[in-house]
Amino acid sequence: MRAVFLYRTRCRTQGLYACVYDNGVSGGIVLYDVIVMVDPTSVFPVIDGCNHQQYCVLEKQPQDVLTCSVLGIRPKVALEWRAFREETAIDFTQHQFTVTQMGDLYDISLTVNFDFTQTTQNRVTVECRAVGENAELFSLSTKVDLLFPNDYSEKAERFIEHLKSKYEIFYDSVQPIPYIKDRMYCVDKVFVEGGIEYMTGISGGQAQWDKLLSYQKLVNENCLKTKRQILEGEPGYGKSTLTLQLLYDWCKSHSKTSSRGVNVIIYLRLRQLGGVVSIFSAIRQVILPRDSDISEEDIKEILNQMRIVLVLLDGFDEYPDQESTETDIYHIMKKNMFQGFNVILTTRPSCVPTCFAPHSDRVRLTGFGEKARRKYVEKAVVGTYGEAVDRIMRKLEENPVLDDLCQVPLFFVMFAHMTYENEHSLTFNSVTSFFPVYDILFSQSHEK
C-alpha cells in the first residue's frame, strides 16, 4: 500500500504531492491531490431569522425573501434553495450568491426571492443545501417551514376543495376513443399540444395570426389583454381536452404551469346550462355537492375574495341559450360582470359569437403536426420510444386517406390506438371506404 501521511496540516499544506517509490524491482510515481477541509463554524447553513437553528418556522408573505449562509468553510461550496417536496408549487428567483474570503476560509451566502401562491396551503417546507463540486465533502442542509397568513375563510377553503374534487372526476375521465366507453385516462397521460395561434390584428380585412409556443401561455397578458378570450377549433381539435389540462394543472398546482398562480378556476360545460340564468346558480347546481351548505350568496362572496379567478366556459356552440341577452354568460362575455376575472370561451369557428368577438382576444387550435403525432404515440399509445413508435407512424403514413385526416387530433388518436391494437385492420384506399368509421366516430362523440 502506498500512501502519503501529512501531520499538523495547515491550509497552505494543500497542493499536489508526488510519492516516489522503488523496491529494486519496480518503481514509479503516484500523484496525490491534497485538499484541506475546514468545517464551517456552524455545521449547517444558517437561515436569516432562525437564530442559528437547523430547523425553525418563519412567518412569511407569499412573495418574500430568504437568505442562508455558510461561514468559515474550506473549500468553497455552492448553495441552493429548493422545495423540500417536489410537488410544492414555489418559485425561487433573483438569486444573489456572494462569496467573501476571510484569509484561507470563505463566507458564503445565497439570497432569493420566492413566490408561493397555492391557495389552500399556508405552510410549506423549503431547504437550503450545499450543491456543486465540493458538496459531497460536507453534509450541509437546513430545513425551514414557511408559515403564510391564511386570508381565506374556512368556507372558502371548503369551496375550493369541492371544486377540485369535481374537477378530478372530469380530468380523470378522458376517453381517447369515443366509442369505447370503458377506456378512460387521466388527461395528463394523453394530452399532447397541437398547433396554437393567437390573433395579432387585422390587415387588409384578413386576420393575422402568430404561433403560441405553449398552451400554458393562454392566460398570459398577450392572449388575455381584454380579459376575455375566444378559443376556437374545429370538432375534434381538442378544445375540451385543453381546458381539462388547465384544470389538472391548477388542481395539482404544478409550479411551471400558467394556471399555478390562479386562486380559483370556475369550469362550466355550457351545454348543461340551458335555462340557467345565474352563474352562481350554475356553480351551485353543476359543481358543488348536493349536500353542500355553500349558498349562491356564499359563492359570490368567496369569488370576490380571490385575487386571480379564471372562468372556463366550454362549448358555446352547444349552449342552448346562445341568443339570450339575459343570462350571466352573456353579461360576463360583455364584461358587464366579472370585469376583473379572466374568461376563456371555447367554440367552433362557425359559432364564434359576433357580439363578443370584436372585444375579445382570439386564439385558435390548428391541429396535429408530425411532431405532435409522434409524441402522442410515444406518450399515450406505446409508452416507449423506438421501433414500436416508428412502426405505427409508418402504418398511418402509408394510408392514402389517413395521412391528411390525421391533422385532426381526434382522428389521429383513434387511428393510432386502432393501429396499435390491430395493425392490419386500418386500410382505407378511398374517402368512401372511410365514411363508415367517420359515422361511428361522430355519432358517438356527439352523444357526449
pLDDT at 423: 55
| Residue 430: predicted pLDDT | 46
Q: Are strands 105-116 and 63-73 parallel, antiparallel or unpaired?
A: antiparallel
- Domain boundaries, given as residue ranges, for the chain: 1-36, 46-147, 154-367, 370-446
Record the cell numbers describing residue 165, joined without a space.
Answer: 374534487
The highest-level CATH class for domain 46-147 is mainly beta
Write the CB contacts of 443 (distance below 8 Å, at least 6 apart in sequence): none
Query: What pLDDT is stored for residue 260 in this prediction?
Result: 58
**CA geometry: angle 79, 85, 90, nearest 5 deg:** 70
Query: What pLDDT tens digit does each residue of the chain (448 aa) get?
Result: 555 565 566 666 677 877 888 887 888 888 877 777 788 888 899 999 887 777 888 988 888 999 999 999 988 899 999 998 877 778 899 999 999 998 889 999 999 999 886 555 678 899 999 998 888 888 899 999 988 876 567 888 899 999 999 999 999 998 877 666 677 889 999 899 999 999 998 888 888 999 998 898 888 766 778 899 999 999 999 999 999 999 999 998 754 555 556 889 999 999 999 999 999 999 999 999 999 999 999 999 999 888 889 999 999 999 999 999 999 999 999 999 999 899 999 999 999 998 998 889 999 999 998 889 888 888 888 877 667 788 878 877 777 666 677 888 888 888 888 777 765 455 544 444 444 455 544 454 444 4
What pLDDT is attached to residue 121?
65
Confidence (pLDDT) at 435 = 47
CA proximity to 286, closest of 302, 306, 300, 269:
269
Type of residue at 92:
F
pTM for this model (two decimals) = 0.68
Enter the CATH code of domain 154-367.
3.40.50.300
Report the C-alpha gap between 50 and 52 in whole angstroms: 6
- Give 416-423's long-range contacts (Cβ < 8 A, gap of 24+): 416/373, 416/376, 416/377, 416/381, 416/392, 417/176, 417/177, 417/381, 418/177, 419/392, 419/395, 420/377, 420/381, 420/382, 420/392, 423/391, 423/392, 423/395
pLDDT of residue 431: 45
